[in-house]
A and B are shown apart, each in its own frame.
Chain A
Amino acid sequence: MRYVDYQSCIRQRKIDRVCKAAVVEIDERNGAPAGTLTHNITNSNMGSIDTFNLDPVANPVIPGQNTYEKFQQIHVTSMGGSSKIDNLKVWRTGALGGAAIHLTNLRTTSYGGAVVYAQPVNTTSSLATQTMPTSLPGSSNLGISGSLGGSLTAPGWSDYDVEQIQTNAADIAGSTSTKNYQYDETA
């Protein structure tokens, strides 16, 4: 079916860039290593259990405690007709509830290299120690193969983006914000 559709694009001489473009999804790993890798997650809800697409109403964080860590990756499932994916940027827009803080391993300088997956914890993360950016970073803050200057020239994954929200005992309400991902693609 896909083959037929792509041929149709070419015959019409109206080649939509998406017909040739790379296919990029967000994946999340959960559980004891090696873990379960869930592809193309539909949200990044954080709460009191270690699972993908979690229900934050059913699994809220107790004020003063932390969410379970998230281990997420950008995954290129197909390069399409493109030659390179690089310059990965991840940030959050929107405020958190109360005095909660959102921490990550993402950083634009002094990058710590590729994190090795470990079972997510809700104790204070030793991996997510940097403040999550709340605007578009000026340069890449998520590496490929351990380097912010890395690139994918074939299907594969970025390094892990590890995140945790740490709450304050006075925080009585959750919040909804937006997680943003950006990458550059070279044809």
Chain B
Amino acid sequence: MQEEKHVCGQCIKEFKTEKEYLDHVCEKTGFSPTDPRHLGGEFKAISEAALKRGEERKSA
């Protein structure tokens, strides 16, 4: 079995581990993958809608 590799789909940089990927600052977005801004401007609305659905289910 070959070793797993990780690639950032934005800047196409390769990493040996998931941690290395999560810790890098993407040259394309300017943010690390654990920062919501790495996902672009549309993610804010996606995230808010997901939170709204989750809270509605919790209180149902």
Contact = CB atoms under 8 A, between A and B. Distances in A.
Interface in B1-59: 1-10, 18, 21-22, 31-36, 38-39, 43-44, 46-48, 50-51, 53-55, 57-58
A112 B10 CA distance: 32
A87 interface: yes
B47 A22 contact: yes
Contacts of B58: 186
B39 A25 contact: yes
A86 B36 CA distance: 18
A39 interface: yes
Contact of B33 (A19, A23, A183): A23
Given A21-B47, A77-B34, A184 B53 contact: yes
A82 interface: yes
A31 B48 CA distance: 35
A2 B32 contact: yes
Given A39-B21, A186-B58, A33 B33 contact: no
Interface string A71-82: 000000110101
A88 to B, nearest CB: 11
A42 B2 contact: no
Given A37-B18, A186-B58, 12 more contacts: A2-B32, A17-B48, A21-B36, A21-B50, A21-B51, A23-B33, A24-B39, A40-B8, A42-B10, A77-B22, A87-B57, A185-B51
12 contacts: A2-B35, A16-B44, A17-B48, A21-B48, A21-B51, A23-B36, A40-B10, A40-B38, A77-B33, A82-B51, A82-B54, A187-B55
